Amino acid sequence: MIAINARTLLPVVSLVLLLGAVFYLQPRAMSYFGINLLFNLAVPIALATIAQMMIIMVNDIDLSVGTFVSFAACVTASFVHDTPVLGYAILAGAVVVYAGLGALIQLRQLPAIVVTLGMSFVWGGLAVLILPSPGGSSPDWLRGLMTSKPPVLPMAIVASLLIAVVTHVVIMRSAFGVLLRGVGGNARTVVRSGWSVVWLKASAYGLAGLFGVLSGMTLVGLTTSADANIALRYTLLSIAGVILGGGEFTGGRVSPIGAVIGALTLTLAGSFLSFLRLSPDWQIGAQGAILILVLAARLVISRGPST
């Protein structure tokens, strides 16, 4: 019991510690604008993390999140801006493709790593075709939404809360979410109870596609333009976010609220490292190190009580 509590607390504790450190180093950050700046890119990262979580929930892993978000961003900055109907149709088609991949992976028992790695090239290629060089522009409503200044809390925080609540309801509370997590927990029982795992996996992948699209759109809303490489590092960030948030690679143990907190922590870690005047060279390595440290810490925690 202690292990479980420590485990669920780990993401919250790490976020609070990091936030404390940032405020200590830079007291001026403790304001509406300061927080908005610190968490500027949190929303697309949180959405990409949720997308990855949907895949990890059914015991797979998605190595194409980064290129898929880049692709969605390119579509948003070009088609959605210029010809909205076609743009939204492309994005909806991409979600359907994702769902189809889930069904294919389950039907043919394919290794998800190889399929998603292959897809990462497909999405990357499509993104290059759509936007050969950086450019495009954000649809106005999206720009307006992402830069709006709601009272009391900055947009990044409000949106993160919203994402956390919505996905928590869908995945953790709804009767459908129970089935999806059941696939990760004990697929045999789910089959024995008369459900179709192919259909459930397609749903999980479809949800991942949906959140990937939302991630790309919000990213364009913040940056106002896109390029084919805009979100490549989201693949690692999303995996790290899920794990940091208390998720596990197998067994359907995921936490949407934890994943959002994990994404916020990683966003903040980036800001923190720059406050430390740590060279940006180390940013990416620091994220890898954080992932390894969290996994190590978790191993220590889960081993503790049993020995």
Which residues of the chain form contacts with other proteins (CB under 8 A)? 1, 4, 61, 104, 108-111, 113-115, 117-122, 124-129, 132, 173, 175-176, 178-179, 181-182, 184-186, 188-190, 192-195, 236, 239-240, 243, 249, 251-253, 279, 281-289, 291-292, 295-296, 299
Shortest distance in whole angstroms from residue 137 CB to other proteins: 21
How many other CB atoms sit within 10 Å of the CB of residue 77? 31
Kind plus residue range of the DSSP H or E element containing 296: helix 283-303
Q: Which is nearer to other proteins, 152 or 193 (CB)?
A: 193
Q: Which residues have CB under 8 Å from 23's CB, separation 6+?
A: 29, 30
Q: Which is nearer to other proteins, 124 or 221 (CB)?
A: 124
Q: Which is nearer to other proteins, 105 or 159 (CB)?
A: 105
Secondary structure of residue 135 in the 3-state scheme: strand
Shortest distance in whole angstroms from residue 143 CB to other proteins: 27
At what angle are helices 256-275 and 234-244 packed, to 10 degrees?
120
Cα–Cα distance for residue pair 66/11, rounded to 1 Å? 23
Q: Which is nearer to other proteins, 5 or 83 (CB)?
A: 5
Shortest distance in whole angstroms from residue 66 CB to other proteins: 12
β-partners of residue 226 are 135
Number of H helices, E strands in the chain: 14, 0
Indicate the burial class of 194 (C-beta count within 10 angstroms; 0-12, 13-18, 19 or more). Answer: exposed
Q: Which is nearer to other proteins, 177 or 221 (CB)?
A: 177
Shortest distance in whole angstroms from residue 10 CB to other proteins: 15
Cα–Cα distance for residue pair 153/36, rounded to 1 Å? 9
Shortest distance in whole angstroms from residue 140 CB to other proteins: 28
Q: Which is nearer to other proteins, 218 or 267 (CB)?
A: 267
Shortest distance in whole angstroms from residue 135 CB to other proteins: 15
Q: Could you tell me the two tokens for 12?
A: 């919250």
